[in-house]
Amino acid sequence: MTATAYLSISPDVQQALDAGAPVVALESTIITHGMPYPQNLEMAKNVEAVVRQHGAVPATIAIMDGKFCVGVSGDDLQRLALAGGSAAKASRRDVSALLVKGAIAGTTVATTMQIAALAGIKVFATGGIGGVHRGAETTFDISADLQELSRTPVAVVCAGAKSILDIAKTLEVLETNGVPVLGFGTDEFPAFWARQSGFPVDHRFDDVADIAAVIANQIALGMGGVLVANPIPVADELDPAAIEARIAEAIAGAEAEGVSRKALTPFLLNRIFELTGGKSLVANIALVENNAMVAAQIAVALAARAA
Ligand code: PSU
Ligand code: MN
């Protein structure tokens, strides 16, 4: 079995790839493990619509029934959204086993990058990446997303990393792994619900054509991925001090209940949702849509270079 034999690409995505037209990959762990039903389904459909409005073809990626599904259909989006946490959360180390089991799984940033690269997609939009968890010096909990960025030539547009993570350590590991961190219209790495984290990006660009040029260089030089940090819109930002207090509460709750490893991120997201009375989710959806827009613009600029 070759890797591409596992691919199941929807007709509209295949047509766009064949034509060299812009395509934006979208992840699915955010659907299964990142948001409650039915907001997860609504978000998934809206984000696809935003990509289309900005001139690219959306390709939501998941593992469905033992295949890498690229361009998940409406029915399968519904299945993923309803399955929620009972679907698997596919990180890189799970992929081969999940294919054997014929499972359905949300793909993380790491596995979505892997499958996107296999399909020939170069640009990917998400909310926030996984990173180095607070306390990683004792738990060693560092997301596989960071290593995938070092090896797989896909640009990931995100709103930075949540401060449920240790942002300083996350940026250090990205540097160790040789991952360029670009700020789109910002000098500072954003902190997901907040526009600023206090830490600088490596390089700021204000024009999507320049970001497309950096991606083209990474590909030409045989390097890995690119992280594009795109801050949440001003109107949707949450108060940094208030959200920080809720995050601290959520982390204390996880410690008290002994939640760790791959269950940790979904647990913290759900607790923060409860503690903010749902405001964290509204902001989360807004920033994903904003990332989808910028990713589509970058994909259009990248396709124009190749044309
Ligand atoms: N951040 C979010 N929502 C999410 C995730 C991160 O705001 O759903 C998901 C992404 O799929 C990311 C994954 O790749 O969590 C990271 O999980 P881990 O830390 O277990 O690698
Ligand atoms: Mn982890």
The pLDDT > 90 percentage for the chain reads 95
Distance 145 CA to ligand 2 centre (A): 9
What ligand is nearest to the CA atom of residue 281? 1
Nearest to 34 by CA among 288, 231, 210, 252: 288
Q: What would the two tokens of residue 60 be?
A: 């939501």
The topology under which CATH files domain 3-306 is Indigoidine synthase fold (3.40.1790)
Annotation says 279 is catalytic: no
**pLDDT value of residue 259:** 94
pLDDT in tens, 37-81: 999 999 999 999 999 999 999 999 999 999 999 999 999 999 999
Does the CB atom of residue 107 touch ligand 1 within 6 A? no
- Indicate whether 307 pLDDT > 80: no
Global confidence as pTM: 0.96
Distance 263 CA to ligand 2 centre (A): 8
Distance of CA 110 to the CA centre of its chain: 8
**pLDDT value of residue 265:** 87
Does the CB atom of residue 108 touch ligand 1 within 6 A? yes
* Best residue for ligand 1 mutational test, from 30, 141, 146, 149 (most atoms within 8 Å of Cβ): 30
pLDDT in tens, 160-205: 998 889 999 999 999 999 999 999 999 999 999 999 999 999 999 9
pLDDT in tens, 244-265: 999 999 999 999 999 988 889 8
- Indicate whether 216 pLDDT > 90: yes
Does the CB atom of residue 128 touch ligand 1 within 6 A? yes
Report the atom number in ligand 1 closest to the C-alpha of 127. Answer: 7
Q: Cα separation of 13 and 115, whole Å?
A: 13
- Indicate whether 146 pLDDT > 80: yes
User: How many other CB atoms sit within 10 Å of the CB of residue 292?
Assistant: 27
The residue nearest atom 21 of ligand 1, judged by CA position, is 143
Does the CB atom of residue 106 touch ligand 1 within 6 A? no
Report the atom number in ligand 1 closest to the C-alpha of 28. Answer: 11
* Residue from 48, 122, 148, 162 carrying the catalytic annotation: 162
pLDDT in tens, 4-16: 999 999 999 999 9
Length of the chain: 307
Distance 305 CA to ligand 1 centre (A): 31
Mean pLDDT (the chain) is 96
Annotation says 122 is catalytic: no
Report the atom number in ligand 1 closest to the C-alpha of 161. Answer: 1
Side-chain half-sphere of 205: how many Cα atoms within 13 Å? Answer: 17
Does the CB atom of residue 144 touch ligand 1 within 6 A? yes
Does the CB atom of residue 179 touch ligand 1 within 6 A? no
Q: Cα separation of 164 and 132, whole Å?
A: 9
